[in-house]
């Protein structure tokens, strides 16, 4: 509402504030203990090890797949539709301009509270359970909004404000479901499952996929909404169904699991053991056989 075209300039330039905090904070960011230990040893060798991108090896195939799919699913939930177009959407379904802007604020407050809840309960309930519960919550929300828009809004109709506020409530439920599950865990899970030698590569993949899908969703949503209308929410709900099934069948629990035991998780998983288990078992058998031969040929003490 600021005249002279300064409104959008001020809102965009305010992004420099958190950017400044990140930049200044990076100066005081301490090194990791593992890096300090490696630095006191052979620094060049450790540096070369960390710079290698071994994530394409077969034994790291589960980590690569999860590092690709988790951020992809994060974006096709439709969360950025709410982040980008919430005021426009709420104004379209019958809320006034001021109410639409305030509705966007309400959804972000719900997300903030849900993020705090996630920090409190994630180590108690586990990553997998939160992802499943959040997925079901988002499925119900997306399908319910799609059904309300299909019945009450039609293609070119007008929705009563009462139903507009009902959509707002459901969207808050959706945002909360995302914010205590797929929102923070998209960054946490790939970090936990990747060993040190591929962690930087795995996290780079996660961020790259998020940025790519954010761009794709931002560029295509309005066209989807014009052509699919209320079906857009059923489309996003369908993707949430797919990602929830993916977690149920393919993502093991990593709660309070030491990094040294992460390799055993893939070898015991019903699906991933077919990819990583055989090669690792052969190595173990070779070591076991070598150990048996060494013991049989060693001189026996009296």
pLDDT mean over 244-269:
88
CA 213, CA 69: separation in Å to the nearest integer? 11
CA 184, CA 114: separation in Å to the nearest integer? 10
Instruction: Show me where the domains of the chain are located.
Output: 57-252
pLDDT digits (tens, 9 = 90+) for 6-48: 888 998 899 999 999 999 999 998 776 666 666 666 566 556 6
SS3 content of the chain, % helix, strand, coil (to 5): 85, 0, 15
CA 149, CA 142: separation in Å to the nearest integer? 11
State the angle between helix axes of 161-179 and 97-125 in degrees (0 to 180), rounded to the nearest 10. Answer: 30
Mean pLDDT over the full length of the chain: 82
Phi, psi at 78, each rounded to 5°: 95, 10
pLDDT mean over 60-67:
94
Q: What is the largest CA-CA distance in the chain?
A: 97
CA 156, CA 168: separation in Å to the nearest integer? 20
CATH 1.10.443.10 fits 57-252, yes or no: no
pLDDT digits (tens, 9 = 90+) for 137-182: 999 999 998 898 888 766 555 667 778 788 889 999 999 999 999 9
What's residue 44's pLDDT?
63
| pLDDT higher at 49 or 91 | 91
pLDDT digits (tens, 9 = 90+) for 86-105: 777 777 766 777 777 888 88
**Residue 166 neighbours by CB under 8 Å, 6+ apart:** 148
pLDDT digits (tens, 9 = 90+) for 127-136: 999 999 999 9
Which segment, 193-197, 283-287, 295-299, is predicted with the most confidence on average?
193-197
Is 116 strand, coil or helix?
helix
| pLDDT higher at 255 or 159 | 255
| pTM given for the model | 0.78
Please report how many Cα atoms fall inside a 13 Å half-sphere around the Cα of residue 10, on the Cβ side. 7
Q: For residue 165, count other CB atoms closer than 10 A to its CB.
A: 16
- pLDDT exceeds 70 at position 285: no
- pLDDT exceeds 70 at position 190: yes
- pLDDT exceeds 80 at position 49: no
Given a contact cutoff of 8 angstroms between Cβ atoms, the answer to whether 107 and 172 are in contact is yes
């Amino acid at each position: 509402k600021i005249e002279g075209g300064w409104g959008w300039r001020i809102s965009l330039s305010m992004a420099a504030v958190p950017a400044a905090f990140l930049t200044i904070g990076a100066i005081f960011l301490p090194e990791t203990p593992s890096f300090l230990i490696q630095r006191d040893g052979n620094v060049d060798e450790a540096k070369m090890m960390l710079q290698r991108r071994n994530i394409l090896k077969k034994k790291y195939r589960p980590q690569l797949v999860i590092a690709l799919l988790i951020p992809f699913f994060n974006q096709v939930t439709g969360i950025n539709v709410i982040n980008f177009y919430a005021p426009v959407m709420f104004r379209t379904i019958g809320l006034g301009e001021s109410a639409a802007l305030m509705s966007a604020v309400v959804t972000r407050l719900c997300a903030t509270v849900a993020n705090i809840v996630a920090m409190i309960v994630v180590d108690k309930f586990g990553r997998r359970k939160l992802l499943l519960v959040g997925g079901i919550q988002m499925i119900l929300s997306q399908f319910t909004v799609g059904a309300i828009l299909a019945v009450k809004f039609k293609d070119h109709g007008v929705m009563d404000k009462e139903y507009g506020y009902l959509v707002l409530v459901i969207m808050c439920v959706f945002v909360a479901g995302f914010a205590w599950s797929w929102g923070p865990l998209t960054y946490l899970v790939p970090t936990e499952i990747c060993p040190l030698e591929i962690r930087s590569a795995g996290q780079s993949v996660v961020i790259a996929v998020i940025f790519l899908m954010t761009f794709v969703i931002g560029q295509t949503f309005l066209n989807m909404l014009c052509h699919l209308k209320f079906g857009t929410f059923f489309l996003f709900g369908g993707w949430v169904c797919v990602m929830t099934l993916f977690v149920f069948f393919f993502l093991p629990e990593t709660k309070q699991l030491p990094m040294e035991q992460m390799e055993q998780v893939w070898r015991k998983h019903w699906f991933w053991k077919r990819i990583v288990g055989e090669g690792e078992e052969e190595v173990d058998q070779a070591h076991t056989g070598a150990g048996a031969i060494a013991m049989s040929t060693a001189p026996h003490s009296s």
